[in-house]
């Protein structure tokens, strides 16, 4: 088998593991893996290909979380629908920015998100939060506003958005981390599909590599879901892992793409 396709398969497994475990990491891992490990030269082509692969991988992981009953469907669906419009607008805007600058800005954003999650680490969340007729006047505006904002950023940076969606859901509803991880995958799939469609219309998707990436993602997602269910029972373990991955990936991407611009 072509070594590029082997690299795509292995990279997909890592992305699937991250999506199943923390509901994010799809594109923040997929884009640099596609550029540096698989060998896609164009950052925009890597972003478009990753959007297709991450959306599909998110659906596999979502199925696992749904079986484990960790998805708060009404909250997840409102957030996802609100974000899809923002993702479409953001994707158009993102295509006008140089690829290296786009990745560098994304790395900085991840450092901010990771730091915010560490500060929230001691808060256990409310496992009983529900979007109902009674709670809608309070929860609905917050879910819609957070969904639009996160969708815009997700589309702009060409990401599925899990690293933004999880904090967005927690901030809007105060749901526990494990529920936010499961619920976020609805939006990851929706945002990723919207972004993928925008890039595909411009011919910025490598479909052959995407297919192998998706195959690896399906396998990795199974392990990630099982691990998330195990770690979700430990006090704040999942939140700390989430924040650590975000900060580490943000440092790498920011350094790799901003340092060459200033030297």
Task: Report d(CA 192, CA 54) in Å as an integer.
Answer: 7
As a whole number of angstroms, the distance between CA 173 and CA 189 comes to: 20
Contact 187, 79 (CB under 8 A): yes
Provide the whole-model pTM: 0.76
Distance of CA 138 to the CA centre of its chain: 26
Give the pLDDT confidence of 29-84 residue by residue, as tens digits. Answer: 788 889 889 999 888 899 899 889 888 888 888 988 899 899 999 999 999 999 88
* φ, ψ for residue 154, nearest 5 deg: -65, -45
111-163 tens-digit pLDDT:
887 887 777 655 567 888 999 999 999 999 999 999 999 888 877 876 656 67
Distance CA 209, CA 5 (A): 6
- C-beta atoms surrounding 65 within 10 Å: 26
187, HSE (Cβ side, Cα atoms, 13 Å)? 45
């Amino acid at each position: 088998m072509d070594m590029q396709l082997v690299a795509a398969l292995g990279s997909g497994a890592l992305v699937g593991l991250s999506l199943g475990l923390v509901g994010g990491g799809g594109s923040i891992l997929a884009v640099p893996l596609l550029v540096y490990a698989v060998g896609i030269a164009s950052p925009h082509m890597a972003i478009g290909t990753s959007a297709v692969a991450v959306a599909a991988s998110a659906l596999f992981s979502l199925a696992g979380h749904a079986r484990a009953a960790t998805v708060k469907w009404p909250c997840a669906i409102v957030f996802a629908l609100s974000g899809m419009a923002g993702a479409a607008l953001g994707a158009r805007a993102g295509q006008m920015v140089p690829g290296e600058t786009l990745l560098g800005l994304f790395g900085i954003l991840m450092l901010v998100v990771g730091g915010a999650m560490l500060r929230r680490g001691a808060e256990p969340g409310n496992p009983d939060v529900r979007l109902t007729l009674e709670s809608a006047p309070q929860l609905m505006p917050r879910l819609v506003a957070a969904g639009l904002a996160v969708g815009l950023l997700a589309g702009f940076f060409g990401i599925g958005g899990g690293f933004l969606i999880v904090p967005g859901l927690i901030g809007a509803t105060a749901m526990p981390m494990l529920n936010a991880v499961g619920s976020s995958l609805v939006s990851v799939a929706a945002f990723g599909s919207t972004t993928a469609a925008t890039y595909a219309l411009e011919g910025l998707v490598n479909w052959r590599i995407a297919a192998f990436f998706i195959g690896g993602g399906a396998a990795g997602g199974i392990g990630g879901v099982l691990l998330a269910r195990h770690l979700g029972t430990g006090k704040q373990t999942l939140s700390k892992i989430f924040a650590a991955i975000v900060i580490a990936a943000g440092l790498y991407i920011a350094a790799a793409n901003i340092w060459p611009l200033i030297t």
